[in-house]
């Protein structure tokens, strides 16, 4: 079955329509002949309803479901009764009556709950990083970063800048921080350097006539950790030719509120 929408995007505009959803089991409630499943994906959670009335085979599948099982489900979106509306959920006004369901993957009991504000060590989170990244607050941060990057690209495009990717493996240059070195298999005894920033390439582009250049660049510094510094980081590189200080400040100030 092809997914028609995300669980967190199901709303009252889809009432009466059939949807196909795929995601992870957040919670399960078995009332005997009636099973409620909270299905989670990157956009949020929606409640699925399984019963013999909607689909006997689907109910048998729901009986096997446990936390973090991956499932696909097909059903009809219906409005909840007024007293059953959950104002805490974005999809709290509706639920999905499931007619077909299939388990795509089973799961062991996770070492911590897939929810915000869990009280576990960072070491455990990093050991099970793929589980930590399922938590809503982590997914929100990544999705927010994506929206910021999209906004940056849109801004520079409207300002006439050209997005140009510069090489990552290059020759070491004398700058303020130490480079990470990458040995070359083709040229034994020689090394590439991972750049701290593509300064030489930016200057080359300006000299070649690309008067407005930008890139969201990965940079590397072989230095001890500090509160405001880490070995690998991302920065916005921007270069302008034929520009004075005021023009550069105007572009930078227009970018920052985004």
Written in H, E and C, the secondary structure of 11-79 is CHHHCCCEEEEEEEEEEEEECCCEEEEEEEECCEEEEEEEECCCCHHHHHHHHHCCCCCEEEEEEEEEE
The per-residue pLDDT for range 180-194, each reduced to its tens digit, is 899 999 999 999 988
The per-residue pLDDT for range 41-83, each reduced to its tens digit, is 999 999 999 999 999 999 999 999 999 999 999 999 999 999 9
Number of other residues whose CB lies within 10 A of the CB of residue 35: 20
Confidence grade of residue 100 (pLDDT, cut at 50, 70, 90): very high
Spatial separation of the C-alpha atoms in residues 162 and 165, rounded to whole Å: 10
Determine the pLDDT at residue 257: 80
Determine the pLDDT at residue 90: 92
Domain ranges of the chain: 7-105, 110-158, 160-255
Is the CATH number 2.40.50.140 carried by domain 7-105? yes
Determine the pLDDT at residue 258: 62
Please state which CATH number belongs to domain 160-255.
3.30.930.10
Spatial separation of the C-alpha atoms in residues 70 and 218, rounded to whole Å: 34
Determine the pLDDT at residue 197: 67
The per-residue pLDDT for range 194-218, each reduced to its tens digit, is 877 677 888 899 999 999 999 998 8
Spatial separation of the C-alpha atoms in residues 250 and 159, rounded to whole Å: 11
């Amino acid at each position: 079955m092809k997914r028609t929408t995300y669980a967190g995007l199901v709303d009252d505009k889809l009432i009466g329509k059939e949807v196909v959803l795929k995601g992870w089991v957040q919670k399960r409630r078995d009332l005997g002949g009636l099973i409620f499943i909270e299905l989670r994906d990157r956009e949020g959670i929606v409640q699925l309803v399984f019963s013999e009335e909607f689909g006997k085979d689907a109910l048998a599948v729901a009986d096997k479901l446990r936390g973090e099982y991956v499932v696909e489900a097909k059903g009809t979106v219906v409005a909840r009764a007024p007293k059953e509306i959950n104002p805490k959920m974005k999809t709290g006004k509706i639920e999905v009556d499931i007619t077909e369901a299939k388990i795509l993957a089973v799961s062991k009991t996770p070492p911590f709950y897939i929810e915000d504000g869990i009280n576990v060590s960072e070491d455990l989170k990093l050991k099970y990083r793929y589980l930590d990244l399922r938590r809503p607050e982590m997914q929100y941060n990544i999705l927010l970063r994506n929206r910021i990057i999209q906004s940056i690209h849109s801004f520079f495009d409207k300002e006439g800048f050209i997005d140009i990717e510069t090489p990552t493996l290059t020759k070491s240059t004398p700058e303020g921080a130490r480079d990470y070195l990458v040995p070359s298999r083709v040229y034994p005894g020689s090394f590439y350097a991972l750049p701290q920033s593509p300064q030489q390439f930016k200057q080359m582009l300006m000299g070649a006539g690309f008067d407005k250049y930008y890139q969201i660049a990965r940079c590397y510094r072989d230095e001890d950790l500090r509160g405001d510094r880490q070995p690998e980081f991302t920065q916005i590189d921007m270069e302008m030719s034929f520009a004075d200080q005021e023009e550069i400040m105007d572009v930078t100030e227009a970018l920052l509120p985004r």
